[in-house]
Structure 1
Amino acid sequence: LATEATNLYSMCDENTSALQNMLPGPSHTRLWSERATREIEASISQSSQRRRPETSITSIRETENGPSSLSETSYYDSDESVRSSRSGDDYTDEEDSNQADMYDLLELKGEGRYGKVLKCRNNETGEIVAVKAIKICEKTDYVIAREVFMLDKVSALDPDVDNVIRFNKYFKSADGHHCMEFELLDLSVEDLMKKRRAPFSLNEIRPMAKDLLISLKGLRNVGVIHTDLKPDNVMFVDQQNKPFKVKLIDFGVATLTERAKVGKIMQPLGYRAPEVTLGLRLTEAVDMWSLGCCLLEWYLSVLPFPAESPYDHMQMITHFMGVPDGELLKQAMYGNDYFVEEGSEWRLKEVSEYKDVILNCHQGNSELDIEDKRVFVDLLQKMFHVDPDKRITPAEALIMKCLNKETGE
């Protein structure tokens, strides 16, 4: 089993990027590159003042014609291009040139293709924060505007109750970067996994699972699908003082539930729900599938569905979970790409066979250990239901026995 798991893990396609699926073409980005920044600033100014009137964080500029609203239709018309909303025509960069001066750079936390994450001190508030700085260009204009729009939707939640990262503000620096200020968190779950080189125990997974279920319950309440739930996007708040307390981050490819398009490919392949691959109706249930993948990966140190292609992905799901219901396949936009009506060509493995992989990990001899594993498997089975309408919801999962056991370790 260990050899099989290692072989499966080696198949993981590390180059899969949900962001690439979300980026529009040049013709789309040109529609909004001229006014994108000033629309975001006016919108965030309005929402920042509404959310945190008690803080001293500087508001983002408003034009002489008043703040403009970044409406939902700005992002979700028929082809996801962006339409301009009302804003002033006398935009300048003078005030933003002073925004970057408000910060003392303390540390470079990370660097990617388009930008950096910086640990900074906000000299106006005294708070140690994270500043995400992205180079300004047509592609990043669109992506940043989309992320700020979704962060504004998520701001209806309480960051400390609903376990989502706190977004403070957006501004544009004088040296040509989109900048977003967030609360500073600790390391990601992915980073800790690499450091410890060992799986998590159920007692370690339990609080993380509860925190993320609360996050998904909150997102469901505000009509948002994260679409990119993976260990990289789950961060510890303060691992030393608040061990295994986590928050969900990165809403750059999130989408409104009501605007999720049938047939749109989203989510990293290894964490992708079957309804995405098949082209079925998309709901918040896709995030529950991704969370199930995370929990199992944290427990086994193996990605459960390490596919190299959508075909491999569907084959693995069918192998472990069985063929999806025939009625679902008839509705699936891409069903004929993977299945034929007379049956499946793959050898099927029952769920009970996959249970053995879990039950044989973290060997424990007591009846209590065995029962603990069984209720964990029960939760995973419900999270991995192929039919999204029958998949367990965050609220239902939060009351399950496996997440409400008093830990003794």
Structure 2
Amino acid sequence: MDGVRTRKRHRLSWDVGPPETQAVTDGRVPTAAPPSSPPLREDDREGHYVYDLGENLTPRYKILSKMGEGTFGRVLECWDREKCEPVAIKVVRSIHKYRYAAMIEIDVLNHIATNERGRSCCVQIQHWFDYRNHICIVFEKLGPSLFDLLKRNKYCPFPVDLVRDFGRQLLESVAYIHDLRLVHTDLKPENILLVTSEYVKVPSQKSNLQGGTRFRCLPKSNAIKLIDFGSTAFENQSRSSIVSTRHYRAPEIILGLGWDYPCDLWSIGCILVEFCTGGALFQTHENLEHLAMMERVLGPLPPRMAQKANPSAAKYFTRGAELNWPEGAASRESIRAVGKLGRLKDLVGRNAECWGGSFTDLLRGLLKFEPAERLTAEEALDHAFFQQSGPA
């Protein structure tokens, strides 16, 4: 897929020298870097910035709270004294590879924000600076993630109209970044944020054990934005062989067959199933079990993919290119976990009668084993599921 797309490798705007030599205060790479600001205190052992709530991150930003933490560093909620508004600041670990990745992310974010379409569907970078050897990226402050929304509702499925709205916006975001020749590579509910934090309580379809009414929280506004472009790849740049968070990782990645735009669409298929069931489709942490779960839900892997698997993945198959399951299972618990899954139509249908028809057909198009056969984001947006309202 997309083999006809040819374009010179995107030139990074900061390709004027290694990022560790750059100390900036205004988000631009200077021709001669000013001296780095001296450390306020030592970083922790992993290179994370150590801070106290209420202190300043440069005179402009006051640290209010920690919003999250990951391999890259920490996200802090700060008060922007200049604009008099809250912002989210990604403070990257003071380690070369993470600083380098942060500079690529900044370039991607600036590339995405080239027109109104990008600003409306993806998180917006406002500014960036290098502070005490930490790359700091300032973003607009958004609401909670869709994973947080699921968790808040104790992993109850979203209503069908909400899934349709979220799915449409997610596909529009991905269609936009694919048009820019970018592959996100880490789509998951944690990386899809509501624009605001306001909720309304509505009665749940299920009653509690005492016969009373149960409520669930739904967003006042369904507007969402895509975040975390730290793993995003430009077309034709050198790439890591393993990308994506495990539960949303496409089969071609596991098999070492290379990856491209279709890996994002596989992730979207997994995300939409999670929205309609409340739980991750492939809850596993091991490759063979993961492939067995895929076969259980979607049918057998195409022999061509098994035959072309790289040497490290070939061990998952017999000489006849069939998955070595359950013989190769690591434990009986693993066999049981796979056995609990059903076919895609049944998984979707068992949660609500309306989750059938066109929705299941859309999922089949997104979860094709062969990347070239998968729907593109634009094709998925034209699917019948998004042309209707009410039951799927």
Q: In structure 2, how many angstroms separate the alpha carbons of the residues matched to 1:138 and 1:238?
A: 34
Tell me by how many angstroms 1:39 deviates: 5.1
CA change 1:99–1:161 in 2 (3 A) is closer
Tell me by how many angstroms 1:248 deviates: 0.8
CA change 1:92–1:295 in 2 (3 A) is same
- What's the CA shift string for 1:124-157, capped at 9, x where partnerless? 3334321112342334323322322332333335
Q: In structure 2, how many angstroms separate the alpha carbons of the residues matched to 1:114 and 1:160?
A: 24
Q: In structure 2, how many angstroms separate the alpha carbons of the residues matched to 1:236 and 1:129?
A: 15
Contact 1:99 1:171 in 2 (8 A): no
Structure 1 window deviating more from structure 2 (100-109 vs 205-214): it is 100-109
Residue 116 of structure 1 aligns to a residue in which SS? strand
Q: What's 1:6 paired with?
A: none
Match of 2:77 among 119, 130, 136: 119
Match of 1:92 among 16, 32, 35: 35
1:384 partnered with 2:367: yes
- Please show how residues 49-198 of structure 1 align to structure 2 within 5 Å: 59-63=26-30, 65=31, 88=32, 90-93=33-36, 100-112=58-70, 115-156=73-114, 158=116, 163-174=121-132, 176-197=133-154, 198=156
- What's the CA shift string for 1:43-87, capped at 9, x where partnerless? xxxxxxxxxxxxxxx843553x4xxxxxxxxxxxxxxxxxxxxxx
Q: What's 1:291 paired with?
A: 268
Tell me by how many angstroms 1:194 deviates: 1.1
TM-score, L = length of structure 1:
0.71
Q: What's 2:317 paired with?
A: 339
Q: What's 2:221 paired with?
A: 243
Contact 1:157 1:218 in 2 (8 A): no
1:313 alignment partner AA: H
Q: In structure 2, how many angstroms separate the alpha carbons of the residues matched to 1:265 and 1:258?
A: 16
1:378 alignment partner AA: D
1:317 partnered with 2:284: no
1:280 partnered with 2:257: yes
TM-score, L = length of structure 2:
0.74
Contact 1:235 1:248 in 2 (8 A): yes
1:219 partnered with 2:177: yes
Q: What's 2:348 paired with?
A: 358
- What's the CA shift string for 1:83-119, capped at 9, x where partnerless? xxxxx3x532369999821123344323456643222
1:403 partnered with 2:370: no
1:267 alignment partner AA: S
**Larger helix proportion, structure 1 or 2?**
1
Residue 182 of structure 1 aligns to a residue in which SS? strand
Q: What's 2:358 paired with?
A: 375
2:343 alignment partner AA: E
Tell me by how many angstroms 1:123 deviates: 2.5
Contact 2:23 2:36 in 1 (8 A): no
- What's the CA shift string for 1:12-62, capped at 9, x where partnerless? xxxxxxxxxxxxxxxxxxxx9x94145595xxxxxxxxxxxxxxxx84355
Residue 389 of structure 1 aligns to a residue in which SS? helix
Q: In structure 1, how many angstroms separate the alpha carbons of the residues matched to 2:68 and 2:250?
A: 29
CA change 1:108–1:342 in 2 (3 A) is closer
2:34 alignment partner AA: Y
Residue 323 of structure 1 aligns to a residue in which SS? coil
2:100 alignment partner AA: Y
Residue 179 of structure 1 aligns to a residue in which SS? strand
Contact 2:128 2:137 in 1 (8 A): yes
Q: What's 2:47 paired with?
A: none
Structure 1 window deviating more from structure 2 (95-104 vs 299-308): it is 95-104
Contact 1:167 1:183 in 2 (8 A): yes
CA change 1:200–1:210 in 2 (3 A) is same
- What's the CA shift string for 1:171-224, capped at 9, x where partnerless? 0224x4321100110001111111111121211111110111011101111111
Tell me by how many angstroms 1:326 deviates: 2.6
- What's the CA shift string for 1:335-383, capped at 9, x where partnerless? 523223424244899x993312211212x4xxxx3xx521111111111
- What's the CA shift string for 1:294-322, capped at 9, x where partnerless? 11111112211112211111121122222
Contact 1:117 1:133 in 2 (8 A): yes
CA change 1:122–1:405 in 2 (3 A) is same
Q: In structure 1, how many angstroms separate the alpha carbons of the residues matched to 2:125 and 2:74?
A: 17
Q: What's 1:255 paired with?
A: 233
CA change 1:113–1:336 in 2 (3 A) is closer
CA change 1:59–1:159 in 2 (3 A) is farther
Contact 1:228 1:267 in 2 (8 A): yes
1:178 alignment partner AA: I
Q: In structure 2, how many angstroms separate the alpha carbons of the residues matched to 1:167 and 1:244?
A: 21
1:310 alignment partner AA: N
Fraction of identical pairs, as percent? 27
Q: In structure 2, how many angstroms separate the alpha carbons of the residues matched to 1:157 and 1:276?
A: 32
1:394 partnered with 2:352: no
